[in-house]
Amino acid sequence: MRSIGFRLGVLVFGCFLIAFAAAGGVIYALHITDKTIDRALDAQRRLDLLTEISGRISSYGLTAIAAANDPRLRDTQMKEAETAVYDSIKAFKPEIASAMQHADMPSAVNEMATRVKPLEQVRGGFRVMVRQITDAFGQDDPQTRGDRIRGAFNGFATMTGPYLFFLMQADRRGVDAAREDARSVSTAISRAALILVVAAFVIAVVMYRLISRPILAAVAEIRDAAVAIGQGERNVRLPVRNRDELGLLAVVFNRTTARLRRRETRVAIDRLALETTIATRTADLRAANDRLAEIDQSRRRFFTDVSHELRTPLTVILGESEIALAAKPQDGADPVTTLAAHATAFAIIRRRAQRLHRRVEDLLRVARSESGTIELRFADTSLRAVCCTAIEAFEGSTRRKDVAIVLEPSDTDVTVTGDAEWLRQVVEGLIDNALRHAKGASLIALACGVDADGAILSVRDDGPGFGVEDPQTLLARFARRASSEFVSGHGIGLALARWVVDKHRGHVTLRAAAPPLNGAEILIHLPLGDV
Asked if 410 and 448 count as a contact pair (C-beta separation under 8 A), the reply is yes
Strands (E) located in 428-506: 443-451, 454-461
Whether the CB-CB separation of 125 and 159 falls below 8 Å is answered with yes
Please indicate, yes or no, if residue 342 is contained in any of the structural domains: no
Q: Which pLDDT score is estimated for 446?
A: 93
Instruction: List the chain pLDDT tens, one digit each, 531 residues.
Output: 466 666 667 767 777 777 777 777 777 777 777 777 777 777 777 777 778 777 877 777 777 777 777 666 666 777 777 788 778 777 777 776 666 555 555 655 566 666 677 777 777 777 887 788 777 777 777 777 777 878 877 887 777 777 777 777 777 776 777 777 777 877 888 888 888 888 888 887 887 777 777 777 777 877 888 887 777 777 777 777 777 777 777 788 788 888 888 888 888 898 889 999 999 999 999 999 888 887 777 567 556 556 655 655 566 566 667 666 665 555 555 666 666 656 666 666 776 677 677 667 766 665 665 555 567 789 999 999 999 988 887 776 677 778 889 998 887 889 999 998 889 888 988 888 888 777 778 889 999 999 888 999 999 988 888 777 777 777 776 555 555 444 444 455 677 788 889 989 999 998 888 888 778 899 999 998 654
Beta bridge partners of 458: 447, 523
Last residue of a domain, one of 128, 162, 193: 193
454 contacts 527 by C-beta, under 8 angstroms: yes
The total of structural domains in the chain comes to: 2
Residue 23 forms part of a structural domain: yes
The domain spanning residue 127 has which CATH number?
Answer: 1.20.1420
Q: What angle do CA 304, 433, 351 make, to 5 degrees?
A: 70
Neighbours of 388 (CB within 10 A): 14
Dihedral sign for Cα atoms in the order 54, 55, 60, 62: positive
User: What are the pLDDT digits (tens) for 488-515?
Assistant: 444 556 777 888 899 899 999 988 888 8
* 210 located within any domain: no
Between vectors from CA 405 to CA 399 and to CA 406, what angle results, nearest 5°?
140
Q: Which of 174, 193, 212 is a domain's end point?
A: 193
User: Does any domain span residue 278?
Assistant: no
pLDDT value of position 362: 63
Kindly report the CATH number assigned to the domain that includes residue 388: 3.30.565.10
Host domain of residue 461: 377-526
Comparing C-alpha atoms, which of 144, 157, 128, 201 is closest to residue 62? 157
CA 147 to chain centre: 98
Give burial (CB, 10 Å; 0-12/13-18/19+) of 66: middle
Amino acid at 454: G
Distance separating alpha carbons of residues 396 and 425, to the nearest angstrom: 18
User: Of 159, 193, 227, at which residue does a domain stop?
Assistant: 193
Residue 346 domain-assigned (yes or no): no
Helix 245-326 with 4-69: angle, nearest 10 deg = 100
Beta-carbon contacts of 404 under 8 Å, excluding residues fewer than 6 positions away, are 398, 442, 443, 444
Alpha-carbon distance 209 to 433, whole Å?
95
Report which of 165, 141, 148, 153 is spatially closest to residue 81, judged by C-alpha positions.
153
102 lies in a domain?
yes
Please list the helix, strand and coil fractions of the chain in percent, rounded to the nearest 5, in that order: 75, 10, 20
Could you tell me if residue 283 is inside a domain?
Answer: no
Task: Please give the Cα distance from 214 to 203 (Å, whole number).
Answer: 16
